[in-house]
Structure 1
């Protein structure tokens, strides 16, 4: 009969050997986890700074729109000019749609049909806010779920003068998106494969040891087993979500007309 101390020592050596194999198999997983952590921190900074500031900007644009409506109803041209100046400072001076918005606001002081002109201004501001909101929603998602950058709908398209341009996709951007999503599919599938191939035998040995009632397992061995199971399972789950997200975006882009 094997002495108790010798059996305990043998168990410790078996667990140590299995753990070494496990560690060597998870080197790639550790690198992936570090990259994921870096990306998560960058995304957190972006959400806390850029995204929140853009939300404040949308609120400021809505406040300016309310002021324009009130000033137009009251016929206060001086107030309209003030709000036009403030709006000019909050939009892109090089964008054609933003230029059109400013011109539409300026015409509120000279046109006789103020209701019609005010309707155009509100529509243009709505398109501006809609575009920024779609961009904010896209940027708040994980990068592998984002898809293509939302395109701003022009005022002429909004009026129905160019309905086909709204759904038209640039072929070059489509192929770039396809290649990016395919690369995500390949990398995530590779991570899943190496994790499955490298961790199957070590975990199989560990499960066999911990299911053997004839072997006494110290508490530290249980902690070590559960800890590594949770870590490796989390990494595998993250890679699987990455794979499914890339697959979804790849198929959506491929099947898009």
Structure 2
């Protein structure tokens, strides 16, 4: 009988230990997922705000309707929102910066304005694709990052065609 009681005590204490360990692991996973979701939500919201800003600024620049702000201010803020140091897709940002400088210098070349809108739409498409990828699970991110980015590929083709004509850097 004592032998049976000893076995029952061992089983009960090991069950309690396993239950406690399972609770700690479940809590860790829950906290980690919650932190990841909060971070993803914040990044997604900030990117959405950035895309709205870019659309609004591009519209003002293209139309020439700056309302109560100066042309220089709108263009400066747009340039500051770009990331020309990003090594992977820096060319698009640098081209946009160049086009904005041309527009700021009062160019009358309509091709510069067309190029500006085209590059801005590619920048927005590129950012939208990155936002979608961030929401993917890890295994899908690996697959997605192994594929070439459609917006950057389109930009590279466009750039080769327009570089000499527009005197792009």
TM-score (norm 1): 0.45
1:127 aligns with 2:122: yes
Cα distance change on mapping 1:104 and 1:160 into 2, 3 Å: closer
Instruction: Using the TM superposition, give the Cα deviation of residue 79 of structure 1 relative to its aligned residue in structure 2, in angstroms.
Output: 4.7
Please name the residue that 2:32 is paired with.
39
Match of 1:89 among 70, 74, 80: 80
Cα distance change on mapping 1:160 and 1:67 into 2, 3 Å: closer
- Structure 1 runs not aligned, ≥5 long: 1-13, 163-257
Provide the rounded CA distance (Å) in 2 between the counterparts of 1:89 and 1:33: 43
Match of 2:136 among 130, 136, 141: 141
Which has the higher relative contact order, 1 or 2, with Cα contacts under 8 A spaced 6 or more apart? 1
- Alpha carbon RMSD of aligned pairs, Å? 3.4
Query: Which is higher, the Rg of structure 1 or of structure 2?
Result: 1
Give the number of equivalent residue pairs: 142
Cα distance change on mapping 1:50 and 1:156 into 2, 3 Å: closer
Instruction: Using the TM superposition, give the Cα deviation of residue 42 of structure 1 relative to its aligned residue in structure 2, in angstroms.
Output: 1.2
- Structure 2 runs not aligned, ≥5 long: 1-7, 162-169
Instruction: Using the TM superposition, give the Cα deviation of residue 140 of structure 1 relative to its aligned residue in structure 2, in angstroms.
Output: 2.3
Provide the rounded CA distance (Å) in 2 between the counterparts of 1:18 and 1:126: 65
Matches within 5 A, 1:1-257: 29-71=22-64, 79-94=70-85, 95-108=90-103, 109-114=105-110, 116-147=111-142, 148-149=144-145, 151=149, 153=152, 156-159=155-158, 161=160
